[in-house]
Amino acid sequence: MRLLAFFASGLALGVAPLAFAQSGNLTLPKAVEAGAAFSIATAGSGKATLYIAGLGQVVKRQVDLGQTVNFPVGTLYSAGRYVVVLQGDQEPESGEFDVVPAKGVAELSFLARPSRLPVGLHDAITGAVYVFDAYKNLMVAPTPVSFELSGPSGAAQKRTVVTRFGAAWTEFDSTARQGADKFVANAGAASTRRVISQVPGDPCGLTMTAKRDGKQVELQTAPIRDCSGNPVPDGEVVTFTASFGDDQSTADVPIKGGIAKIDMPIQDGALISVASGVVMGNQIRWEK
């Protein structure tokens, strides 16, 4: 219901250039669409200067009173409130009118974050959009914006949001597969795309095995994957720790070829553990 009211007010704005407001010798439009032609009627006789001033533009014309002053397409294109002063031989006349954004979305300002994140996070990708017309005026009438996030597998998350004061936002989960996701915002004929790089998450189900290798013990993990099955990239560090009484020795080993592997001197009876970041793996009590 509220949405309908918004659209109704938007439609009312659309016909506003047809309405006029009269103030003494001046007949002004109530609103003019950005870039559209418009006219201002004057009454009386003689010469005068007509000023139209806003924060986006200023226009000054010499006019013959009693004539309608026509302004061609493209005269006023910056949306906002404009004051009008008609200065002739007699008392000056004044008034004001609005220039409203042109119809049709021409440009989207799209802020998408982050550009890189782990897979499988809830509401971790956000997008905010501002909609503009062809003259870079913020389109303040409610406008539907559709957001779509699609992963390498082609599965997409979609949502349509109606702008409020020209802005709309959404949030999506990062997908389960690593790779480059396309994050697209569409409104009217305008479309903007961002790429979100999704990388594997933390290791999941980290396990290792131990076997004697001469005087040392060879420790090796199983292929390391995140909880969605994506291989954790080489270079991530896995920490092996051997504890015996108060003695502790550790080794930080980068993943290579999908696994981490090292030979360590380990006493009989030591407790060996493996971890990566905040993720703990299994433990092994080393016995001869």
| Chain contacts with other proteins (rule: CB under 8 A) | 13, 16, 30-31, 49, 51, 53-60, 78-81, 83, 85, 87, 92, 94, 96, 98, 100, 111, 113, 123, 126-128, 130, 136-138, 140, 164-167, 169, 171
Closer by beta carbon to other proteins, 161 or else 210: 161
Residue 127 Cβ, how far from other proteins at the closest point, in Å? 8
Residue 269 Cβ, how far from other proteins at the closest point, in Å? 52
Closer by beta carbon to other proteins, 32 or else 274: 32
Closer by beta carbon to other proteins, 190 or else 272: 190
Q: How many residues does the chain have?
A: 288
Closest CA to 279 of 242, 226, 230: 226
Closer by beta carbon to other proteins, 127 or else 200: 127
Closer by beta carbon to other proteins, 159 or else 177: 159
Residue 36 Cβ, how far from other proteins at the closest point, in Å? 14
Q: Is the dihedral of CA 170, 176, 178, 182 positive or negative?
A: negative
Q: How many Cα atoms within 13 Å fall on the side-chain side of residue 204?
A: 11
Judge contact between 264 and 242, C-beta under 8 A: yes
Residue 117 Cβ, how far from other proteins at the closest point, in Å? 12
* H-helix or E-strand spanning residue 7: helix 2-15
Residue 58 Cβ, how far from other proteins at the closest point, in Å? 5
Judge contact between 125 and 114, C-beta under 8 A: yes
Distances in Å between the Cα of 113 and the Cα atoms of 116, 197, 198, 200, 240 are 8, 10, 12, 17, 35
